[in-house]
Amino acid sequence: MKPFVLSFKAACLATVLLTPLAQAEPLKPFTYQDMVSLDRMSGLTLDATGRYAAFQVRATDLEANRGVTSLWVKDVDHPQTVEYRLAISDGGAFAPQWGRDGALYFLSARSGSVQVWKTDLKGTKATQVTDLPLGVGSYKLSPDAKGLIVSLSVFPECHTDPEGEIGCTLRREAEQKASKTSGVIYDRLFVRHWDEWKDGTRNHLFYISFAGGEPLALTGGFDGDVPSKPFGDESEYSFSPDGRRVFFSGRVAGQDEPRSTNFDIYQIDLVHPQDIAFNPNLLRAVHLTNLTEANKAWDTGAVVSPDGRTLAYRAMKRPGFEADQFGIYLKDLVSGETRRIAADWDRSADSLEWSEDGQSLFVIAQDVGITRLFRIDVATQTVTPLSASGRIDAFAQKDDGFVFLKNSLNRPAQLYRQAPRDMFIDHEPQAMTQINNDVLHNRTFGAYEQFSFKGWNDETVYGYVIKPANFIEGKKYPIAFLIHGGPQGSFSDSWSYRWNPATYAGEGFAVVMIDFHGSTGYGQAFTDSITQHWGDRPLEDLQKGYAHALKAYPFLDADRACALGGSYGGYMVNWIASQWKDPWKCLVNHNGVFDTRGMGYATEELWFSEWENGGDVYNHAENYDKFNPALHAKDWSVPMLVIHSDNDFRVMPEQGIGTFTALQMNGVKSRMLRFPDENHWVLKPHNSLKWHQTVFDWLKEHTEAGQ
């Protein structure tokens, strides 16, 4: 399939359309201060009539140094109407879901802990739905409107306690709070995960009947988290259309949790087979079945067809590999027969949703630097792309098309509507909402363009170049060479609130980004190629891509260039500091790997490090040393800014400290920015401002930008 390429001309036009036709003065460049202050849209849900879309908007409260989320509604059948904020948001509201009863459900901590609440279309009154002694982590409404599922954090061994998981958990928490010791005993890993120390609790599911009664434990005794930690949500569990069965994806922890990616899909029958009348008072989970036990890799995202017969889900093939391709599988819930569909489609499905007629699946997947919506015909297995540019964040079906949230390199998410369903790849949709327009209509962005070149193994590699805002033809500009993390990730046509190229363009830099071998969205073989090759194949792509960009875009000033990266991108910054240092006036390393051996011993998700290095560190140390930046630190000479956070348990703080120590002891000009209250990312508003100001000061100091 030929990739969609956005030209400079088209990008410029897209930017101009955000502004009035007549401008007395040049527009101000979009800056990182603007980015931090923008409202962030997410959580799209469409009511049963297909007319009203609800979504959440996270505003930034700089004084309180936090985000504040509110609920908004848009009448999508009348685009001329303006979206409106619901008054119930004043008490705190997030995670909206329309119910079959016409109510808008949401989560709120207004009662003292996070519980499920509901309101109506006007949003003037909030009614509490759950009143549990534990806070709700996530929820999903039953399609029969008789109840809902919530996830709660409980001690799984409490399943056999007479007080049940909830009561026993409350008692144990009270005992821990009253204890005068802070010592914690561990018998197995994880000891810590992402940014929190493990406390022995697990996410478990409970069914709440609207008819009353005690919460029904659905996963009692299950030795694992549902939804998974740290990023799992309600997409990991679902109902059958009749509300009588629940499906969830879960991993049994055991002693091997840090090495295992073996998530299976389980089925729970919510009602006794003899209970034909479905009496809520007799409701109980009578059977738990592992539907995908044969596959020892990752199974997730189960959704049942409208007729209740077919389960669609996503599955990987290789155990221990988190970046394997998610293929699409169908399981007949009557016969048990399972088959893969669209097996020749070399893309990894990020999500699945059945069409209302059950004839198709709608899939979001990365594709050559774009995150598209696709339609897969179940009978013919034909895959049809439905979107042309940017990133589809979320979508909902209407009788005559879709509503969806979409963003791009020069536009944060907005709500769109498009019809008919199979046509909007040829017709760029217009935004229906005006979130952030008060800021964006006064800002200009740098035009961007996707390019390609021959990289490692003479294979085609893609990248993006972004012009500085208010670009002047004939002028040369300093370069910010951004290197993405993952490493199985992508710098695609999408918006970010962390590594956002538009902020570099706003500061007067031209941006070059390469989706090197190992990146996602270009086929599984392309993604696989980085395994055990962190330091050679991607480096070759970066070198060839940079050379191509310098030749193709004369406004790039090779004498004023800095390279920046986070996570794996930070690793690569440490690697090129010895292996490819000549082009760079400065480097920026955010939470990057310094010592691959140390990473192999101390990171939490061991499957990642062991897969990428071909084995564990104590039996295969030579694999870890092959591309170990720490072994070449003596050759460093390029000035480097090091950024690291204390609560990053993926790439531990010692990795950043080690980097800075090596720089300082070698006499290399260097600076370190430490965040004691952040994780692998920098999330607090003022910390984000500090991050960007420090980075841009460093870049300008070494490239003399603006002179």
For 518-652, where are the alpha helices, taking DSSP H only?
524-528, 537-552, 568-579, 596-602, 606-612, 621-625
DSSP tag of 380: T
Torsions phi, psi of 39, nearest 5?
-80, 145
Q: What is the residue type of 6?
A: L
Tokens for 329, please give them: 């599988």
Between CA 169 and CA 422 the distance in angstroms is 50
Do β-strands 84-85 and 66-75 pair in parallel, antiparallel, or remain unpaired?
A: antiparallel
Burial class (CB in 10 A: 0-12, 13-18, 19+), 706: exposed
Q: Determine the 3-state secondary structure of 637 from DSSP.
A: coil
CA–CA distance from 95 to each of 98, 112, 128, 234, 412 (Å)?
Answer: 10, 17, 15, 10, 19
What are the tokens at 479?
């370069």
Task: Tell me the three state secondary structure of residue 194.
Answer: coil
Q: Which amino acid is at 293?
A: E
Q: H/E/C letters for each residue in 336-347? A: CCEEEECCCCCC
Using CA atoms, how far apart are residues 387 and 365, in angstroms rounded to an integer? 11
Whether residue 74 contacts residue 59, with contact meaning beta carbons closer than 8 Å, is answered with no
Catalytic residue set: 567, 648, 680
CA distance 17 to 384: 29
Picking from 197, 189, 192, 153, the residue whose alpha carbon sits closest to that of residue 173 is: 153
Q: What are phi and psi of 473, to 5 degrees?
A: -60, 135
Long-range contact set of residues 414-421: C-beta below 8 Å, sequence gap at least 24? 414/41, 415/41, 415/44, 415/53, 415/55, 415/74, 415/76, 415/83, 417/76, 417/79, 421/375, 421/386
Tokens 């001309």 label which residue?
A: 9
CB 338 within 8 A of CB 329: yes
For 129, the token pair is 């739905």
3-state secondary structure 56-115: EEEEEECCCCEEEEEEEEEECCCCCCCCEECHHHHHCCEEEEECCCCCEEEEECCCCCCE
Q: Which residues contact 80 (CB under 8 A, 6 or more apart)?
A: none
Q: Read off the tokens for 474.
A: 């004939």
CA distance to 2, 307, 388, 622, per residue, from 424 (Å): 16, 28, 8, 52
- With beta carbons less than 8 A apart as the criterion, state whether 465 and 512 touch: yes
Q: Which helix (H) or strand (E) holds 411?
A: strand 411-418
